Structure 1
């Protein structure tokens, strides 16, 4: 699998940034204590981890410790350290760099997750407002929800059918709690990934199945988070309310399978 450009850039920065920082600090090594120089290199490690990932942060910590040894401990331009205090400083630089880099990387990931979850909730709110305002026929509203599902779950395909019972053996099913049921047992999404084939997501209102969304994940893709799956369940429930029509916009569009309709793959 091809590594994303951001990860490649982060790994390159993990090697080069501590080297360049240590080199730039060479004129100051006689006037600044080794401990303060090490702290400045920790700042570089944190910056790399915050912009990259935890592996880049760990590599940056190793690089910072090595170049601190090479440029700022005697004998200079050597990876040998004579002074015990310098040894302790180098080891502490490595340990602090590793710990802080992991914390910085985790904070970046958590921030990204928070932004993603907020976007999913906003997508759900937009769909709700669209339905409440009567922003289209039933077929148009359900098709918009179908496209929302494809984006929320990062699917290769998502199609809708009004058939409430599948032909042949029952397919895998995304349940109301966000879990996936396969042939009568719960599928371990985190360990096994998406099951093969389509996964159905029923559109249920008032205890009645009014249609089914058929989800096709990207091959080998990491399953969407539990939060994303719960948003998908809510979107399917919203589609069911549109189809039920009780207190919702009138259904003026045809819902049927066929070319150019909701039941085809798009």
Structure 2
């Protein structure tokens, strides 16, 4: 089975080559098929790339499709110029639709990874959601989630800082990535940085605090586990939001 890194590299290559190959295959038919129909064929290529790759790969495929549609399939052929007004609109729509599809595909993959996972991950999310829905105080939810994060991400330690936002430590992002990415040469895919990583807690655009995660050096963490950690932090944010909004609002 391909690793996520290998799959992303293949998707990036396909994002460049795929739309070009499809557009090239349409050249013999470009006088017989309307520009709109050729654009639809290129959208299929963008969808294929977005389905297997990252958001970046999908966006790159959308740009590549629009470029090769212009260069190979619209008059004057072989030039980055479009003579017909309808073809200009088609090229713009091709780019817009391709970008939208790449975003939707990335979102769908994330939801799939969170929901189609092992029973232990689902159990963590379910228990925390039930606690929030019961009206538990935010600190109670924090105290339940903190040891779960330690176990889930194989941490040396974890603390919660309420309302504190100091420094610029590495951050666990909503899509499960770490920014900035670890740069030491020995880092493996999924390995967290050696320093503490922040996992922010917010809801409704309001920042409530952050978990400071102390990773175990050399221990890789799966993307699924990181996405579950983000979901647990979201539940903590919901608890703070419910407490701020009053007893009648529960998430």
TM range (shorter): 0.5 to 0.7
Residue aligned with 1:76, SS: coil
Going from structure 1 to structure 2, the CA distance change for 1:85 and 1:104 (only over 3 Å counts) comes to same
Shift of 1:72: 0.7
Deviations along 1:75-123, one digit per CA (max 9) or x if unpaired, are 1122111111111111111111111221122111211121237551369
Partner of residue 153, structure 1: 152
Structure 2 segments unaligned to the other structure (5+ residues): 127-146, 173-193, 197-212, 236-251
Whichever of the two has the greater Rg, that structure is 1
Partner of residue 63, structure 2: 62
Contact conserved, 2:125 with 2:232, CA < 8 A, in 1? no
Going from structure 1 to structure 2, the CA distance change for 1:84 and 1:118 (only over 3 Å counts) comes to farther
Contact conserved, 1:153 with 1:229, CA < 8 A, in 2? no
Q: Give TM-score, length-normalised by structure 2.
A: 0.54
Q: How do residues 131-150 of structure 1 correspond to structure 2 at under 5 angstroms?
A: none
Partner of residue 35, structure 2: 34
Corresponding position: 1:217 with 2:215? yes
**What is the alpha-carbon distance in structure 1 between the residues aligned to residue 12 and residue 215 of structure 2?**
30
Partner of residue 86, structure 2: 85
Contact conserved, 1:120 with 1:152, CA < 8 A, in 2? no
Going from structure 1 to structure 2, the CA distance change for 1:226 and 1:66 (only over 3 Å counts) comes to closer
Going from structure 1 to structure 2, the CA distance change for 1:124 and 1:105 (only over 3 Å counts) comes to closer
Shift of 1:4: 2.1
Q: How do residues 90-109 of structure 1 correspond to structure 2 at under 5 angstroms?
A: 90-109=91-110
